[in-house]
Amino acid sequence: MTDAAKLSLTGKELEYPVMSGTIGPDVIDIRKLYAQTDAFTYDPGFTSTASCQSKLTYIDGDQGILLHRGYPIGELAEQSSFMEVAYLLLNGELPDADQLGTFDRTITRHTMVHEQLATFFRGFRRDAHPMAILCGVVGALSAFYHDSTDIHDPAQRVIASHRLIAKMPTIAAMAYKYSVGQPFLYPDNSLSYTGNFLRMTFGVPAEPYEVNPVIERAMDRIFILHADHEQNASTSTVRLAGSSGANPFACIAAGIACLWGPAHGGANEAALNMLREIGTPDRIPEYIARAKDKNDPFRLMGFGHRVYKNYDPRATVMQKTVREVFAELKVTDPLFDVALQLEEIALNDPYFVEKKLFPNVDFYSGVILSAIGFPTSMFTVLFALARTVGWVAQWNEMITDPDQKIGRPRQLYNGPTQRSYVPLTER
């Protein structure tokens, strides 16, 4: 790649350095552009903008490649565990047995929440969307853990990171229990991270809860698939919030709010609702036509991606996991057949082929989560639970980045030029 990008503007010939990473597209360093040209770049949606340097996750959208610290998502999903992937994202290397054991025990011992936090739930209506509850309760964590909100103290950053990763399953399970009117269960430190979450969600005080190891493995793999994903909207939200010096709990609450959108993490809930609305394979052509109709706002939820212009590698693993969970639970779901046929039809339709629209991570996840017993309203909560690992790792990377400064984009202003105030009596 050239070592400089040339720009000719307002009679000036300017050069901007081109920076290369280890893999992936080069970047043009335009940090001096405004000072030298009095002009901004214009990139709504940041389709051509690198906001930071990162070592965490690499995506090749054309090849459908996703690496976490260099390890392919398919290998991690098959051979690793969510706790091990969390350690990898936070520390940069796979842990040895002692390191993993210590990390796992540390996270386990942070799974309880302050007892007063339980009263927060009482303020919500029972039919509150669990994501609304999650936004509120996670934001409130900063009111309980003042001793880990100094972002300039590395020790406090580590404790806050561990607290967030450890407490998300507890809070997510509490949000579900509150919505179904059942009592909260305390964490059980004898269980795995994911087994503990399943028990807090589906267990009841009236009887013992047996964690199904196949479901535990499937859920842990689903968490791995959702752990991190480069500079997606919610991760960028966490980084932007963190760039102001806000405490980590507030930053993660901001990420949760952004993830909730149906164009982002809310798509898993929207995709299953879409499959339910389609209902039977014979109605697929009607919905494909609607998705292609410019005058119809309907989109195939769980399809398309800003970066992947090939099959989302996470969707491949997700589809395989559906078959495993169905075999274990000895269930079928006609919506899975609708999803498979919808994918088949869409991937042979010129509209989707030309626009390179493939199933993404959200297309099949709802079918599995529904089979395991989660209501649709919990799907994005589960996405947020897993993505907390990525958000926390990205937040830590941002805080320690020497290039980091408060995020403050500019604009192309096309509003009224200056004019004088007109008193009410003269309007």
Phi-psi region of 94 (alpha: psi -120 to 50; beta: other; left: phi over 0): beta
**Distance, CA of 44 to CA of 410 (rounded, Å):** 11
Compare residues 179 and 370 and give the one whose CB is closer to ligand SDX.
370
Is the Cβ–Cβ distance between 169 and 93 less than 8 Å? no
The sign one gets for the Cα dihedral 390, 396, 401, 405 is positive
Query: Cβ 343 to ligand SDX, closest distance in Å?
Result: 12
Compare residues 45 and 416 and give the one whose CB is closer to ligand SDX.
45
Phi-psi region of 359 (alpha: psi -120 to 50; beta: other; left: phi over 0): beta
Assess whether 305 carries a catalytic annotation.
yes
Compare residues 263 and 353 and give the one whose CB is closer to ligand SDX.
263
Query: Cβ 49 to ligand SDX, closest distance in Å?
Result: 13
Compare residues 167 and 229 and give the one whose CB is closer to ligand SDX.
229
Hey, what are 280's tokens? 């039977």
The type of residue at 353 is: V
Query: Cβ 64 to ligand SDX, closest distance in Å?
Result: 12
Compare residues 110 and 306 and give the one whose CB is closer to ligand SDX.
306
Compare residues 360 and 370 and give the one whose CB is closer to ligand SDX.
360
Hey, what are 182's tokens? 């059942």
Is the Cβ–Cβ distance between 50 and 62 less than 8 Å? no
Query: Cβ 155 to ligand SDX, closest distance in Å?
Result: 30
Query: Cβ 351 to ligand SDX, closest distance in Å?
Result: 7
Compare residues 171 and 361 and give the one whose CB is closer to ligand SDX.
361
**Distance, CA of 36 to CA of 15 (rounded, Å):** 10
The type of residue at 402 is: P
Active-site residue, selected from the candidate residues 104, 312, 333, 362: 362
Query: Cβ 114 to ligand SDX, closest distance in Å?
Result: 30
Binding site for ligand SDX (CB under 6 A): 45, 229, 232, 263-265, 267, 291, 299-307, 355, 357, 360-362
Is the Cβ–Cβ distance between 335 and 274 less than 8 Å? no
Active-site residue, selected from the candidate residues 104, 305, 312, 333: 305
Q: How far, rounded to the nearest angstrom, does the alpha carbon of residue 218 sit from its chain's CA centroid?
A: 18
**Distance, CA of 383 to CA of 333 (rounded, Å):** 22
Query: Cβ 301 to ligand SDX, closest distance in Å?
Result: 5
Of the candidates 363, 305, 325, the residue with the CA atom closest to the CA atom of residue 212:
325
Assess whether 38 carries a catalytic annotation.
no
Range 322-329 contact pairs with CB under 8 angstroms and sequence separation of 24 or more: 322/364, 322/367, 322/368, 322/371, 324/214, 324/218, 325/214, 325/215, 325/218, 325/368, 325/371, 325/372, 326/371, 328/212, 328/214, 328/215, 328/218, 329/215, 329/371, 329/372
Catalytic residues: 305, 362
